[in-house]
Structure 1
Amino acid sequence: MKIDVYTHWWPKKAAQKLLEVTRQGVDPVATKYLEKRESKTAVNDLDLRFRFMDRHPDVLHVLTISNPPVEMFAGPENAHEISRMANDELTELVATYPDRFIGAVAILPMNDIELALEECDRAISELGMRGVRLFTTIDGETLDSERLRPLYQKMCDYDLPIWLHPTEPPEVPVGQEALLGWEYETSKAMVTIASSWIFDEFPDLKIITHHLGSMIPTFEQRIRWMHPERKT
């Protein structure tokens, strides 16, 4: 048996709620972005998903939610509600098809850290989810932010990983982000985490990155050469 630890699924009810919230705003780019997620793919259609999985019967999937971040388009209360809906739907899917899905990863309303910590506890302790997903930036905030330390400590206490997913660099037009933007964002986030010595502060922290580490394997020696010394 093999386990694909980073497969995507967008729960239908949560996606519809996020689209409704977004349409109440005035950002046509955001609405267009979410409407793209309504097209029928293996990310939101079980029949297509299972047909693909049937070609690889020895592989189980861990379900994670891809872009967009709920906090990008929804305020804290709506983001909290949508996160709960999504996590409930993912958990139900895993329970319904245990021969297909071995676990799911929670999303959190990261525009309110207290609500995020609350949902983290519920998702892991009550729903049995396998970890949480963070984006490479949170409304422009990088992952070395002091605000995120309580979440890092909580994940160490649970001994569960954070799944790291790229989001769009703000200067990249919608439609071009997946070409190079995501790889740059992932690489930059990984260097930010390493350069801020977060793993010294939280030695038990586990992070799973997307896209095979993006640019980091290629630039490994350059990073070692240019990496800043720790300030004491």
Structure 2
Amino acid sequence: MKKIDIYNHVMPQRYLEMMKQHSKDAGIVKRMTSLRMLWDIEHRVEMLKQFPDVQQVLTLSLPSPEALGDAELSPQLARIANDDMAAMVQRWPDRFPAFVAALPMNNIPAALQEMDRAIGELGARGIQLSTNINGRPLDDPEFYPVFERATAHHGVPIWMHPARPATRSDYPTETKSKYEIWQVLGWPYETSAAMARIVFSGLFDRLPEMRIITHHCGGMIPYFSGRAETLWAQLGSRSADENYEDILKRMAKKPIEYFRMFFGDTVLGGSASALRCGLDFFGPDKVVFASDCPFDPEGGPMFIREGMRSIESLNLSDEDKRKIYLLNALKLLGMKE
């Protein structure tokens, strides 16, 4: 069965060199430079021969342009990333049928311009945003034009990637996160918090056709869906300084139903039970196969292999497997089989 891996990462070599030059995060430089499969794309293509039925939709690895450069530099970084990902698609179309545009989100006029260029001239099939923009929430009004342009003008989906640095501590008495908790546990939280801000800010009401693909199958939301449903149904009962009750009154549907408007990918480290939870929450029409390649202990193939194993172990119908592996991705990408 043909499969589209809709969320995996690359870092073009020109972008890698810019990261080495401008990043102030020694940890992320160490991680990205050590992953050959991330920036040696010929090596990636060779590895993918193990999976002849898998194609990959390319997205830029962290750090995003706005996290790497200021408002003057980030547009150049986004252009480099998009130009080089487009070149990979052009060179290996059978392996990489599409790419997702990176945007300089600390410069919104430039982000809109780059979105138009990447989609209109280079053929990008969507855009990627981090769950926060250098610490600012995605429901900040300054970012709304990006959501509106992608959804209402271009009709493309949005890939949402968690971002939380090691400098954000786990406890207020400390200055940094320990044991890489910031990534292992912090990223699913960041995804869940971003989803909640999008829901309660009314973005889905303003843009009902908006399609957002959440990494790691919606973070914490599927597992805590019962808690989310029952406690957010009482929104405002624990707050005295905000009139949250009016938010519930204006919402067209129950809060939990908005959360089901997101898509979830299968990037769960190969855990079949976690995937079952995500499928129960989103349904088979809203879950897409993805690997997070090459960020696994083997540096590339493990998450592809284990992701497929987790899907196969659930005894799904052939129809549902075909949706997850292929049809849902094709619909999101606006592509034909």
Matched with 1:167 is 163
Displacement of 1:178: 2.6
**CA offsets per residue over residues 103-149 of structure 1, 9 Å max, x none?**
00111111111111111111111111011100000011111110111
Q: Which moved more, 1:71-80 or 1:50-59?
A: 50-59
Name stretches of at least 5 consecutive residues in structure 2 with no aligned partner. 170-175, 236-246, 251-337
- Structure-2 separation of matches of 1:12 and 1:204: 35
**Pair 1:175–1:87, CA change in 2 (3 A):** farther
1:196 maps to 2:194: no
- Structure-2 separation of matches of 1:44 and 1:20: 16
**Pair 1:175–1:6, CA change in 2 (3 A):** farther
3-state DSSP class of the match of 1:43? helix
Does structure 1 retain, via aligned residues, the 8 Å contact 2:13–2:40? no
* Amino-acid identity (%): 38
Matched with 1:181 is 186
**Pair 1:213–1:135, CA change in 2 (3 A):** same
| Paired amino acid for 1:15 | L
**Pair 1:194–1:142, CA change in 2 (3 A):** same
Displacement of 1:47: 4.3
Q: Which of the residues 127, 143, 154 maps onto 1:148? A: 143
Does structure 2 retain, via aligned residues, the 8 Å contact 1:10–1:65? yes
1:57 maps to 2:33: no
Displacement of 1:179: 1.3
Q: Which moved more, 1:170-179 or 1:181-190?
A: 170-179
- Structure-2 separation of matches of 1:165 and 1:211: 9
Displacement of 1:175: 6.7
Aligned ranges for residues 78-227 of structure 1 at < 5 Å?
A: 78-156=73-151, 157-169=153-165, 170-171=168-169, 173=177, 176=180, 177-227=182-232
3-state DSSP class of the match of 1:101? coil
- Structure-1 separation of matches of 2:49 and 2:81: 25
3-state DSSP class of the match of 1:38? helix
Q: Which structure has the larger Rg over C-alpha atoms?
A: 2
- Structure-2 separation of matches of 1:165 and 1:159: 19
Q: Which moved more, 1:98-107 or 1:189-198?
A: 189-198
- Structure-2 separation of matches of 1:13 and 1:86: 8
> What's the RMSD between the two structures over aligned residues?
1.7
- Structure-2 separation of matches of 1:136 and 1:174: 21
Matched with 2:248 is 230
3-state DSSP class of the match of 1:212? helix
Aligned ranges for residues 41-52 of structure 1 at < 5 Å?
A: 41-52=36-47
Name stretches of at least 5 consecutive residues in structure 1 with no aligned partner. none
**CA offsets per residue over residues 176-215 of structure 1, 9 Å max, x none?**
1331111111111112111222100111111111011121
Displacement of 1:32: 3.8
- Structure-1 separation of matches of 2:202 and 2:212: 14
Report the TM-score, using the length of structure 1 for normalisation: 0.91
- Structure-2 separation of matches of 1:187 and 1:41: 30
| Paired amino acid for 1:50 | V
Does structure 2 retain, via aligned residues, the 8 Å contact 1:18–1:70? no
